[in-house]
Amino acid sequence: MIDVDGLWLNADDRQLLRQPEVGGLILFARNTESPAQVSELVRSIRALRPDMLIAIDQEGGRVQRLRQGVLRLPALGEIGRRVANQQQAVEVAHAAAWLMATEMLACSIDISFAPVLDLDHGRSAVIGNRSLGSSAETVTTLGGAYIDGLHAAGMAATGKHFPGHGWAEADSHFDLPVDERSEAEIRATDLRPFRDLASKLDGIMPAHVLYPQVDRHPAGFSRRWLQEILRGELGFNGVIFSDDLCMAGAHAAGDMVARVDAALASGCDMLLVCNDRGGAEQALQQAQHRGIAPSQRLVGLLARREPGVVYKADPRWLRAVRLLDSVGLLGEER
């Protein structure tokens, strides 16, 4: 999964997208001006590659790539903080997911990498209010409702960052975070939402975090975490997306060739290589060298695709908007 430079495809983008090893594209803020522009960009991508998986990070709050012409959704952590009644918080989480998914599907975007299932231990600034709560029970309950909202809209759900990024303080965009706790403590806390929701999730994204009491490799490069625990113990059979292999937290595995090999060996189905065109080209060369074939698990994600959703004509749209607005969680529409 790669990225492109701007609001429209250029010649270099088109050449790269034609490579059969490219199975997906992720949109960033620089690629989004308005729903109409995003829809046209996606249309031009699908003209080249109809099978391309189009993704975005549209969590809400500070992580919302498309901001103009769509609802300003709350950070997920604000749901639990502002809505004291648990049943209402569940309804709000479901509505927030449904609204986000319908807006993205209307732009023909397949998935937003959500929900964040990390616990907020008050330590990680990069997670913070992106987390649904500080307890495993809260994150599991609200995360389950959020997943149901995505599915109700026709969008696959991707939980991140397995097995939990909330304790490690460093930001994996710039450093390798380390969670020094025992495996027993991680299992009793941060792992629980992933364990309890594994059967509902379509995708999971592991963290670029090192858990030295469990394995010497960061989670995204660890067969112990991804094959033995996630696949074996938790029974997860969906898509494993690597986090961005260009992030500093991924450099522990070595150069780009080594990162590609390590992520594939650990069991990742799709590798994200973003914001580094040279790195993306190296990753593709290594994939070509190894003769990598697309994972069949990706077919299930594309099967949910429902392009052309006329969401504002659906009475559920108005009910969901009113619900979020009634608890003060809806920003202005732009």
Q: Which residues are designated catalytic?
A: 173, 243
Residue 65 assigned to a binding site: yes
Residue 160 assigned to a binding site: yes
Distance (Å, whole) CA 75 – CA 63: 8
Tell me the residue type at 30. R
Residue 208 assigned to a binding site: no
Distance (Å, whole) CA 265 – CA 247: 19
Distance (Å, whole) CA 265 – CA 34: 39
3-state secondary structure at position 161: strand
Distance (Å, whole) CA 262 – CA 254: 9
In this structure, the number of other CB atoms found within 10 A of the CB of residue 275 comes to 15
* H or E, element range at 255: none
Residue 120 assigned to a binding site: no
Pure H helices in 49-153:
76-82, 86-106, 136-153
Q: Which residue has the tokens 């992933």?
A: 194
Q: Which residue has the tokens 């109809």?
A: 50
In this structure, the number of other CB atoms found within 10 A of the CB of residue 244 comes to 24
Backbone angles phi, psi at 137, to 5 degrees: -65, -45
Residue 165 assigned to a binding site: no
- Residue pair 287/42 in contact by the 8 Å Cβ criterion: no
For residue 278, count CB atoms less than 10 angstroms from its CB and return exposed for 0-12, middle for 13-18, buried for 19 or more: exposed
- Binding site: what residues are annotated? 57, 65, 130, 160-161
- Binding site for substrate: what residues are annotated? 57, 65, 130, 160-161
